[in-house]
Amino acid sequence: MTQDSNDFRPRLVLRFGVTGHRPPRLHIKHHDLVKRQCAEMFALAQATLEQLQPAHADVFSTEPAQAKLLSSLAEGADVLAAEAALESKVHLSVCLPFPPEVYTKDFGKEEWARTQALIDRADSTLSLADYHSGDEAAYEMAGDVVLGQSDILIAIWDGEAARGRGGTTQVVAEAVARHQPVIHIDAQGEKPPEILWSGLHTAIPDRPSVDGVERADAKTALPALIEALCAPPIGRELEALKRFTHIEERHRERVFAWPLLMGLTGARPWSKLSFQPNDAETAADHARSLTTPFAENGHFGSHLNGPLLQRFGRADAKANLFALRFRSSFVVNFAMAGVAVLLALSGLLFPEAKKALIAAELLVILLIIANTRAANRANFHQRWIDQRHLAERLRQLMLNATLGRLSLRDVEDGTRHPGWASWYARACARELGLAKATLDQAYLGKVRDAMAHLIEAQASYHEANKHAMHHANHRLHQTGDLLFGGTILACVAYLAISFTMGKNVGVLGFGMTEIVTFLTALFPALAAALYGIRMQGDFAATSERSAVIARRLESLKVAIDADPLRYDRLIERSRRLSEIMLADVQQWQLHYETRPLSLPG
């Protein structure tokens, strides 16, 4: 498969959503002003994007920067914003609370003709199909899709309290609480547009409210806001991002120490040991069952099965490689530490070779130092966690996006600049956008099947990993105990022989004192090396985490099988699945932040 750098450099995309009032709460006399103010915001955003892309040409693809609007096309604010977007060359996507043949019942004939014209010009249309005409729950769910698909929410709002479920005030309040920027366009035409955003605070609040959130003039603040949302990270994070998006090298590395440890402990059968992680194409093939059912869903389907799948494959393959390299680094360190002790003690048995043994010991110690420095300089641990985080984010995106969930503000809460993996996952989500689909029973069935397949595969992996890590931990612990037991036996044997046969007894030409000193120093040193591998590898906790995750996934699968096939249930289950899978990455991050690779001591 030929891969171009543009496949891995995301397109610069900014996504707007819109919520707002219908007539008569949005009076017809304010329509022109509202539409003009929307157009001004779109023009300013497009100009900012066109300046931002060349400034970061080594990160973004060569495709033109693109602003998009997602609208539910309800009469009034939604339609005005959509018309302003198209007139401003901003692309339009549509999320309808009902299929068009049902949604039309909420409109007059002329009003529907206006809405239908916008649907015809939209890049993609997603229609919910679980609700009856006029059901407020449908508007609430469509509003949630708009939020999940948007970087910035345009709220054409009079500032007053909510008057119904899923209304503008409720959507604005939820956006602010998610740390999602809101451009407030006054539905009464009395104030200029302003931005409501927790990012304007000096100290960002935990869950901001509409009444307490900071505000700024939209024309002044919007360019800086767009740069804060879309500009890539800086410093080391930027360098890591560039390394990922660079064209993949074709050679594959072989890594031995960790697979050999798994074989020696019996955690993995020797016939199944692999000294090379899967390449990117193989990793992508393993995830293809998530994407293939949606290949025919417009641009969404082709992008899902093309660039996004390739990006996941690369992230997954790199995560596995860096995990192997990091784990092998500490296994090699502790193994060589044991060898160094062996060489040092061998001088007791072979005094004539003392100089050569000391020289060999010095070489081994230097190799340990070099290995530790090389692994830390290459930053295997952080690169492993970053790539695993990215792979899991992209895997969840491939599934969640089929339900309209891009989750652009779900992971980080605005309290810090996101790491490169989070930034990249969001950039991929923006580019992927909205599925072209009607979320009827047939479509929801495909989503449920894909979710079930993912859960089964991940539960199976964690069940196998639970047993492998438990077995490795038990065998290492058992071997360490045997070494300490051997030390005790050597001491007892020495005392028994000394009292019965004297101290000058020898074996194979070696004195008993030298042999016992050798064994009673070597065995505890080797046991300590095994203990170091156990602690650094976190075998016991890893086994327990995998057991917990497997149980949670199996419980989730049972719940999904028992659920009625409804959109709101699948959304709830997909959120839970994301929480379970990302929690595992966070636990790995926490563990290795507290136990960095260091010299054995």
Instruction: Label residue 248 by pLDDT band (50, 70, 90).
Output: low
Exposed, middle or buried by CB within 10 Å (0-12, 13-18, 19+), for 180? Answer: buried
As a whole number of angstroms, the longest Cα–Cα distance in the chain is: 113
Say if residue 37 is exposed, middle or buried (CB neighbours under 10 Å; 0-12, 13-18, 19+). buried
What is the reported pTM? 0.92
Average pLDDT over residues 387-415: 83
Percent of the chain with pLDDT over 70: 94
Mean pLDDT of the chain: 91
Q: What is the SS3 assignment for 437? A: strand
Segment 317-340 mean pLDDT: 95
What is the mean pLDDT of the segment spanning 204-223? 91
| Number of C-beta neighbours around residue 343 at 10 A | 20
- Residue of higher predicted confidence among 133 and 157: 157
Cα(528)–Cα(264) distance, integer angstroms: 18
- Average pLDDT of span 515-543: 94
Tell whether 308 is covered by a domain: yes
Q: Which domain holds residue 541?
A: 257-594
pLDDT band at 204 (very low <50, low <70, confident <90, very high): confident
Six-digit token string for 72:
């539910």
Residue range 381-386: average pLDDT?
91
pLDDT score for 410: 63
Name which of 469, 473, 459, 417 is nearest 555 in CA terms.
Answer: 459
Q: How many whole angstroms separate alpha carbon 70 and alpha carbon 506?
A: 87
Give dist(CA 451, CA 531) in Å, integer: 40
Which class for 218: exposed (0-12), middle (13-18), buried (19 or more C-beta within 10 A)?
Answer: buried
163 confidence band (pLDDT: 50, 70, 90): low
The confidence score (pLDDT) of residue 90 equals 97
Please determine, for residue 403, whether its predicted confidence score (pLDDT) is greater than 50: yes
Q: Are residues 326 and 209 in the same domain?
A: no
Q: Are residues 282 and 226 in the same domain?
A: no
Residue 411: its pLDDT value, please? 47
CATH assignment of the domain containing 42: 3.40.50.450
State how many domains the chain has: 2
Q: Give the end of a domain, one of 212, 230, 248.
A: 230
Alpha carbons 387 and 61: distance in angstroms, whole number: 20
Q: How confident is the model at residue 497 (pLDDT cuts 50, 70, 90)?
A: confident
Q: Both 484 and 583 in a single domain?
A: yes
Confidence category of residue 1, pLDDT binned at 50, 70, 90: very low
pLDDT band of 503, cuts 50, 70, 90: low
For residues 560 and 511, which has the higher predicted lDDT (pLDDT)?
A: 560
Q: Is the peptide bond before 596 cis (omega within 30 degrees of 0)?
A: no
pLDDT confidence tier of residue 412, bands split at 50, 70 and 90 = very low
Res 206: pLDDT:
80
444 and 350 in one domain? yes
Give bridge partners of residue 69 from the DSSP assignment: 16, 92
**209 Cβ contact list (under 8 Å, min separation 6):** 173, 176, 177
User: What pLDDT does residue 167 have?
Assistant: 78
Helix (H, G, I), strand (E, B) or coil at 71: strand
Residue 246 in any domain: the answer is no
| Phi/psi of residue 196, nearest 5 degrees | -110, 120
Tell whether 223 and 282 lie within a shared domain: no
